[in-house]
Amino acid sequence: METGPWDFEPGWYYYFLHKNYSGAETYWKWSGLKSGYRVRFKEHKSNVKTIMPRRIAQEELQKEKVKKAEEERVKVKEMHDEEVVRAADRNVDLVYSSFKDDFNRMQGVITEGLTFCLTKSKGKLYPQVNELQRQNDMICQSIAYTHKQGIGNELENSKRQEAYVEYKKQMEELVSRVAHLVGMAQQYY
């Protein structure tokens, strides 16, 4: 009642039994054969009033709704912006360039060492060279897979960096094994 329209039903009931509370009054209304007294309710004549005008209550409610919606929009926008940054980070490999030179240098050393071993031993070290070449190919395929970019190949740069560090360690170990094989080829052939 405090925020609704100032109206009561049945009118005559409130006029006779709750006149002070409802602010009921009678008035004459001409309507042809249906003319007669009618009951209407005036808020200013009652001894109780609404707590606040209806329009003000609706405005406050509307302001609260707008404020809440704006807070939600800001939260969603922050989450959206963060997700856009993450997606951009996953789609572009920014770390590969810092490892590329090391990978290329080690690939050159491995290739030259294995070629030297095959030529120096005249093919007698082929099984060892073949095994080292297979391991090198696996590392190179892993690097290529990690370096893939675009839809379906989304990996955060921090994860790529961890993988590249691991591949670099494996490749350094492979370079060491190739160096030992080269030393053996020089000594025995």
- Asked if the model's pLDDT at residue 69 lies above 90, the reply is yes
Q: What is the model's pLDDT at position 1?
A: 43
Per residue in 12-67, pLDDT (tens digit) is 877 777 777 677 888 888 888 888 888 877 777 777 776 666 667 678 888 999 99
- Asked if the model's pLDDT at residue 2 lies above 60, the reply is no
Please give the model's pTM, rounded to 2 decimal places: 0.51
Residue 70's pLDDT band, with cuts at 50, 70 and 90, is very high
What is the average pLDDT value for the chain, to the nearest integer? 81
Candidate from 26-35, 68-77, 91-100, 174-183 with smallest mean pLDDT: 91-100
Per residue in 100-159, pLDDT (tens digit) is 888 888 888 888 888 888 888 887 888 888 888 898 899 888 888 887 765 556 667 778
- Asked if the model's pLDDT at residue 71 lies above 90, the reply is yes
The structure tokens 């309507």 sit at: 31
How far apart, in whole angstroms, are the C-alpha atoms of residue 184 and residue 182? 5
Segment 93-103 mean pLDDT: 79
Per residue in 167-182, pLDDT (tens digit) is 999 989 998 988 888 8
Which has the closest alpha carbon to 169: 131, 142, 129? 142
Q: What is the model's pLDDT at position 74?
A: 92
- Concatenating the DSSP letter of every residue in the chain gives --SS-S--SSHHHHHHH-HHHHTEEEEEE--GGG-EEEEEE-GGGSSS--SS-HHHHHHHHHHHHHHHHHHHHHHHHHHHHHHHHHHHHHHS--SHHHHHHHHHHHHHHHHHHHHHHHHHHTTTTHHHHHHHHHHHHHHHHHHHHHH--STT----HHHHHHHHHHHHHHHHHHHHHHHHHHHHHHHH-
